[in-house]
Structure 1
Amino acid sequence: MARITYRSSFGEAIVVDVAPGLTLMEGGRNNGVAGILADCGGACACSTCHVYVDEAWIGHLPPKGELEASMLEFALDVDERRSRLSCRIEVTSELDGLLVDVPERQV
């Protein structure tokens, strides 16, 4: 398990254990994290699982793929460095302690 912290735009932190092999989106959605809408169910066909990765963790994640980068064009308030789609980030044990911020709104 990897312990992931999802922080709301209001500063509330929700810490959940996410099994390796699941995505950050699944971990958030399965644990009732507000703001992880995941309208497409993880198919990378929307941008409603947009999160901001904490600066300290950016280098620990795989780079954005072409599809993710194109879908982020539809997200609100994109930060070119920190914005990611949580459906594209597979949880591994190396991500234990990861901190992501959930935007105030997705759409």
Structure 2
Amino acid sequence: MATRIAVRHVSRRLSSSGRILSEEEKAAENVYIKKTEQEKLEKLARKGPKPEEKPIDTKPSSSASSAAGPSTEKVSTDKYRNYAVIAGVVTTFGALGWYLKSSGKKEEVRD
């Protein structure tokens, strides 16, 4: 759904040049977005699950697998996501430091 909203926003910004889309254009855009999302889902279904992912288990889990599951499920193994989190934290502290440093400098207005 987020993909649909992002595509709609970008397409309206770039192609519409500030004009409001007609109902037919909105409908055509929605059909295109649904078609591309369906194609992505079909492509993923054909590709199959990744080797590191577990297949979805519909049976209730046993006590042995549930004991090991919760401790490892919340740890991210995606290194790019981890880099993004670190970059976000560094940026936040940098912005906070810049704000605090600049708030102490107040010039007096002289007449």
Q: Please tell me the TM-score bracket, short chain as reference.
A: under 0.3
Structure with greater helix percent: 2
Structure with greater strand percent: 1
The structure having more radius of gyration, on CA atoms, is 2
TM-score by length of 1: 0.19
TM-score by length of 2: 0.19
Higher relative contact order (CA 8 A, sep 6+): 1
